Every structure is written in structure tokens, then in C-alpha cells.
Amino acid sequence: MAERLARLGIERVQDLLFHLPLRYQDRTRIYPIGSLVEGQEVLIEGEVEHAEIVVRRRRMLLCNLSDGTGRITLRFFHFSNAQYLGMKGKRLRCFGEIRRGPQSLEIVHPEYKIQSTTTVNTVEETLTPTYPTTEGLQQRSFRRLIALALAEVALLEDLIPAFIQQQYGLTGLQAALKTLHHPPPETRISHLLSGQHPAQKRLIFEEMMAHHLSLRKLREQARQLPAMTLGKKDTLCQQLLESLPFSLTRAQQRVITELRQDMQKNNPMSRLVQGDVGSGKTLVAAAAALLAIESDFQVALMAPTEILAEQHYQNFRRWLEPLGLEVSWISGKQSAKARRSQVENLLLGVTQIAIGTHALFQNDVQFRQLGLVIVDEQHRFGVDQRLALREKGRQGEYYPHQLIMTATPIPRTLAMTTCADLDYSVIDELPPGRQSIKTVALSNERRDEVIQRIQSKCSQGNQVYWVCTLIEESEVLQCQNAEQTWVLLKEKLPGLSVGLVHGRMKAEQKETVMSDFKRGEIQVLVATTVIEVGVDVPNATLMIIENAERLGLAQLHQLRGRVGRGTAASSCVLLYQSPLSRNAHQRIDALRNSNDGFEIARIDLEIRGPGEVFGTRQTGELRFKIADLARDQALLPQVQQAARQLLEESPEAAEKLIHRWIHRAEDYASI
């Protein structure tokens, strides 16, 4: 039993108490058959008027049950002859879901019990819970275990003081747990399923407090660590900014100032910089890198994909090499000889900045003196990886400063919880002259109209992206693949140069095609989502995204951001395959109605939930048992305030709260 419970993460009695039901059944009352409605899960009782075995497409047992107010059919596909003979004329009590049958309402395979005429048959006194369980552990056994645990609930300490409970209208812990495991008959199941019941609010509030407190604790611990002070000189940074053909926005200037102030402290910076597509985050990162380099420290810039890392490498070379700085490229795809040379240069201090993917932090890569780690899109990897990365960058007793960038705007309420261990800055201003992008959605059947539009755009001297979601044919996904589309567009647009780029091409091939597109030698670029980030071609004013219904909202917004980078009016066409699912409708409508990345992020959070938005279903971060950040985000300001009060009044209770809810809190602290 202990092994089975461990599979569910249950190792202590209190884990059992906090393992809440998925849903509830109402077996507290017997419903008249005449009052039943399709979709209800109910308890009924009546006489079997007629029972027969019929053979249609398959053999089945049909029983007509009547209680004087109405009749209903019980349908069984798995039964024995003894069952059939034993039912005739008997009184049955049944539980199941009411469905619409061919002739009348029916229940398929109800739970049933033959009622005795001599004993009093009682109903349940509370709603019946159904728990998330595991192989070899039945609901009946689980309910018995919960009953044993509830007998010990008085020993469970209520860690939220009475004054905080009163201030925020919270139920006592023991009462909340008893209610949620055994709700009284009058409890509305819809309230329980939607997380609106006061007993749930108590546990949601407590769990969110524990997560907030654990991240706050990590932040305080980080402030105790030593780091080298950087950024006292800014000659190189000023040289870079003066060499640019444009001026920084006020938002970029503000964020660079915040980074410089952080880096001048003697504890490690941990700052998240958010900025919408095209807001100039990479340039801000380059400025921070120069502040570190001028203090005689090295910089590591890590990106999640080879494509994005490669884009950063090209940008940083363009900006930093004229200043006499060496930029290194570390990739898993490099030859052993090339990699060895780059690694040696880092160790000797010849190279000031290294750019790459996770390969940067493999054991053979050593820095002479690492002062700043810049990570792009690292927010999606979670707290534990942020800490591991900080540890890998440690030089003796000193820790590097850490800058985390994301082009996926995070709603403020969500950032308050998921990034509470970080300071964060927002680049909330786009460079001057940037045009808003007009977005339209068209059915795939109107593809020929779209191709005519390409011809018109290119005749005016503009360039076009056509993005496909697959490289090769797939029978499973109804997606036009990039290679087929490339061939088709070359046929339909004979006077235009049509290029192709996708993730399986060699780096040199991709670079050649992208360079030709940037120079205007290619007018139409057919691509997979490799161009989602980093590509900057101001002359491209039209983006067509094929099978848009198959991409997430954040990814669609990123792709759309590849156009509108110049001063000309730009547009995006979302080509979709009918019929659209409800979620796909929501995503496409959101793109059509808004260019604001933060508004789109808020809608994305509502549609997919935080685990998907952050890519954390795989990485194991954000593992809330009861709280749902999309549903419960309105509680966050109260949770933060209550957490501050708890730390002031009862710091030992705060520590116990973290231990109760965050099993890995100790691991985080020791990384």
C-alpha cells in the first residue's frame, strides 16, 4: 500500500489529507425517475417491470425500471444469465449518468444493488468523493484511508494565524479538509468543481502562500551570496550605442540603468527582462555584456535552440567585433577540433563572450573569469534550472550575475508568483516608426487569393514570409509542408525569387538563404517556424502562416512579429483548415483583435493554463496541487500581503508552510 501511495506522492498522513477529490457524486438523495434530466449523475430506485436479452449489433440486457413517477432503461453489455434471471421483478437502487437512449432516458452499466424488503436502506450522509488514484488502489480502499486520516486531522497544525484568517475570510484548516473530503448534502457540486467553495479557497490561499514564501526565501538567500561588482566603466557600452544608426527607446535606457545598478552590487543580480517582439531586448543584453567585459569578466549567453543561439552569435559579432572583442560559438554540432579551439580560448581569456545552447555548461567548457550569464527564454525552464545554472557559473566563492530575457510577455499577476525569486524589468515601448500589424484569418480554400496578394506586394518592392509547420509530408497532420509549398509558389510566381529555409538544413545553407533574403535577392521566403525569433528584415511586410490553427498563441504572435519591423504598413494572414476547434477560434480571434503581447499572454494563460504557457508540463515546475494560477490569479495580491504579515508575525510558521507544500524547497536551497 505504501508503494502505491508513493506513486501518488503520498508519504505522510498530511499528504493523504491534502490529496483532494477530482469530483463528487451525490448519493445523499433518491431522485424521482420522472424528474431526471440528461447529463445528471443520480441515485434512483424502482421496480424492474421488464427485462430481456436482445441481440442487435451486440448482445445486451435491457431492463425497464419504474418508480411510479416515470420509467428509465438500464442497459448492460456485460452480464451473466444469473444476473438477468435475478433481476426480474426485483427492486433496484441504481447510480449512474443519465443519457438519451433511442426510445427513452437510460443508464448504461449503472452501479446497482437489489433492495431487501426487510431491512431499512439508508442513503449516504455526505457527497461521495472520487479521488485521483493509481493501479491496484480502488476508490473504496482510498476512501477508507481518507477516513482514517481524517480521524487524525486534529493533530494537523493550522499554520495561518487567526488574525490573517479573519482578515481574508478564510475557513479553518481542519474544517476545510473535512468539508472537501466529505461535503454535506446541500453543497453545490458545481462550486466544488469550479474551485469556488470557501473550503477550497482556504487551501488554494495556503498553497499559493507557500510557493510565494519559498521563492521569496530563495531570493533572500541569493542576496547573501557574494558576487564581483561590475559596470563601473561604460566606455565600450557608449561606443556601441554611438555606432548605432538609431537611438535607444526610453524603456531600453531605463532597463540598461537597472541592470547596471544591479551589477554594481556585491551580490549576484537575478533579473528577468520582458519585452514584446521587436522591443530591442538583445541590444539591452549586449549593453549589459559590455559592462561586464569592461570590468575584465567574461559573459555566457545561452539560448534554448541552435537557431536562436546562431542568431545571437551573428548579432553580437556585428556589434562587438568592431570594438575589438572576440565572440565565441559553442555548439553541440561543432567538430571536435573547432569546439576544442573555442573552449581553449575561453579558458585562456582570449574570448570575452561565449554564445551557444546548453552545450555552454557541459563539463569541458570552463571560463577564466565568468561575471555575467545571459539566458534567453530561460523562464520556461523553471526555478530549479535557474539555480543549477547559477551554480555552474560559480567562480571560486563568487557567483555570476544573471540576466534572463523573454520575448513571451508574462502577465504581471503570473510573474508575481512564478518569478518571485527574480527582479524584473519590462521593455514596454517599441522603437519609433514601428507600424501595428493588420491581421486577417482566411480559410485554406482562399489560398489562390493570397498568392495574388504576394504578387502585388512584391511588385511594390516588398518581401514576404510564408511559414509552414512541417518540413515533410505527414498523413497525420493536414499541414502543407514547406518543400511542397516552395515548389508550388515557384510555379505560381514565375517572375519572383522564392527561397526555402528549415531546421534540417545545414547551418551554412540556412545562413546563405537568410543573407540573400535580407539583401532582397529573395522576395518570398518559405520557412518553417525556425524564423520565429531573431530574424530582422525591415523590408518584409507580409507574413502568411499556414495551418495557423495548429500553433500556440505565443508562437503565432512571435511569427507575426517578423514583419512590421520597418516603417511600411505590414500585415499577417492566418491560413486555417476548417473546421476550427473552440480553442483555435479563441487563438485566432485574439491575434486579429490585438497586437499587444501582454494582452495576448493573458488570453494564452486563460486558454492553456500556466503549465503550458511556461512549457512546464515537462520540466516539473509550477506543480500546484490545488491552486490554478489562471483561475485564482485574483488572489495573488492578497496572498503576497498575507505572506509579508506571516513573516513579520510568525516566521517559524512560514518555514513550516513551505515544508508542508513544497517538497523540493530543501533541494532548491542547497543547489
Q: Do domains 235-427 and 437-594 have the same CATH topology?
A: yes
pLDDT for 530 equals: 67
Q: Tell me if 441 sits within 8 A of 576, measured CB to CB.
A: yes
Q: How confident is the model at residue 200 (pLDDT cuts 50, 70, 90)?
A: very high
Residue range 29-114 forms a domain whose CATH class is mainly beta
pLDDT for 484 equals: 87
Q: What is the pLDDT of residues 172-190, one digit of tens each?
A: 999 999 999 999 999 998 8
Set of cell numbers at residue 523: 522576395
Kindly tell me if the per-residue pLDDT of 613 is higher than 60.
no
Q: What is the pLDDT of residues 576-597, one digit of tens each?
A: 988 888 888 888 898 888 887 7
Q: What is the pLDDT of residues 396-411, one digit of tens each?
A: 889 999 998 887 667 6
Return the closest-CA partner of residue 293 out of 208, 371, 391, 395.
371
Kindly tell me if the per-residue pLDDT of 611 is higher than 60.
no
pLDDT for 413 equals: 63
Kindly tell me if the per-residue pLDDT of 618 is higher than 50.
no
Q: How confident is the model at residue 449 (pLDDT cuts 50, 70, 90)?
A: very high
**Residues whose CB is less than 8 angstroms from the CB of residue 250 and which lie 6 or more positions away in sequence, other chains included:** 429
Q: How confident is the model at residue 648 (pLDDT cuts 50, 70, 90)?
A: very high
Kindly tell me if the per-residue pLDDT of 109 is higher than 90.
yes
CA 539 to chain centre: 33
Which of 194-208, 320-334, 400-414 has the weakest average pLDDT? 400-414
Strand partners, 442: 575
Q: What is the pLDDT of residues 479-505, one digit of tens each?
A: 557 888 899 999 999 989 999 988 777
Kindly tell me if the per-residue pLDDT of 573 is higher than 50.
yes
Instruction: Give the highest mean pLDDT range of 196-210, 353-367, 475-489.
Output: 196-210
pLDDT for 602 equals: 74
Give me the mean pLDDT over the 640-667 stretch.
84
pLDDT for 431 equals: 73
In whole numbers, what is the pLDDT of the chain averaged over residues? 85
Residue extents of the structural domains in the chain: 2-23+128-194, 29-114, 235-427, 437-594
pLDDT for 511 equals: 77
Give me the mean pLDDT over the 371-383 stretch.
73
CA 602 to chain centre: 12
**Residues 551, 143: Cα–Cα separation, whole Å:** 42
Kindly tell me if the per-residue pLDDT of 534 is higher than 60.
no
Listing from the earlier edge strand, what are the strands of the sheet with 370-376?
327-330, 353-356, 298-302, 370-376, 401-406, 270-275, 423-427
**Residues 127, 189: Cα–Cα separation, whole Å:** 9
Q: What is the pLDDT of residues 229-278, one digit of tens each?
A: 998 888 999 999 999 888 899 999 999 999 999 999 999 998 989 887 77
**Residues whose CB is less than 8 angstroms from the CB of residue 107 and which lie 6 or more positions away in sequence, other chains included:** 72, 73, 74, 75, 94, 96, 97, 98, 99
Q: What is the pLDDT of residues 512-530, one digit of tens each?
A: 888 889 889 999 999 887 6
Question: Each residue of 75-110: b (16+ CB within 10 Å) or e?
Answer: bbeeeeeeeeeebeeebbbbbbebeeeeeebbbeeb
Instruction: Give the highest mean pLDDT range of 479-493, 563-577, 646-660.
Output: 646-660
Kindly tell me if the per-residue pLDDT of 622 is higher than 60.
no
**Residues 228, 94: Cα–Cα separation, whole Å:** 72
Tell me if residue 588 falls in helix, strand or coil. Answer: helix
Q: Tell me if 102 sits within 8 A of 86, measured CB to CB.
A: no
DSSP assignment letter at 30: B
pLDDT for 314 equals: 85
Kindly tell me if the per-residue pLDDT of 614 is higher than 50.
no
pLDDT for 482 equals: 83
Q: How confident is the model at residue 609 (pLDDT cuts 50, 70, 90)?
A: low
**Residues 670, 156: Cα–Cα separation, whole Å:** 27
Kindly tell me if the per-residue pLDDT of 666 is higher than 70.
no
Q: What is the pLDDT of residues 22-66, one digit of tens each?
A: 999 999 999 999 999 999 999 999 999 999 999 988 999 999 999
Q: Tell me if 43 sits within 8 A of 123, measured CB to CB.
A: yes
CATH superfamily assigned to domain 235-427: P-loop containing nucleotide triphosphate hydrolases (3.40.50.300)
Set of cell numbers at residue 61: 440486457
More confident residue, 307 or 448: 448
**Residues whose CB is less than 8 angstroms from the CB of residue 151 and which lie 6 or more positions away in sequence, other chains included:** none
Q: Domain 437-594 adopts which CATH fold?
A: Rossmann fold (3.40.50)
CA distance to 288, 311, 506, 601, per residue, from 329 (Å) = 19, 11, 16, 32
pLDDT for 432 equals: 72
Percent of the chain scoring above 90 in pLDDT: 47
pLDDT for 662 equals: 82
Return the closest-CA partner of residue 432 out of 252, 170, 665.
252
pLDDT for 554 equals: 77
Which of 83-87, 213-217, 559-563, 603-607 has the weakest average pLDDT? 603-607
pLDDT for 234 equals: 87
pLDDT for 663 equals: 61
**Residues 267, 291: Cα–Cα separation, whole Å:** 16
Kindly tell me if the per-residue pLDDT of 665 is higher than 50.
no
Q: Give the residue carrying C-alpha cell 448504461.
A: 108
More confident residue, 378 or 321: 321
Give me the mean pLDDT over the 296-311 stretch.
84
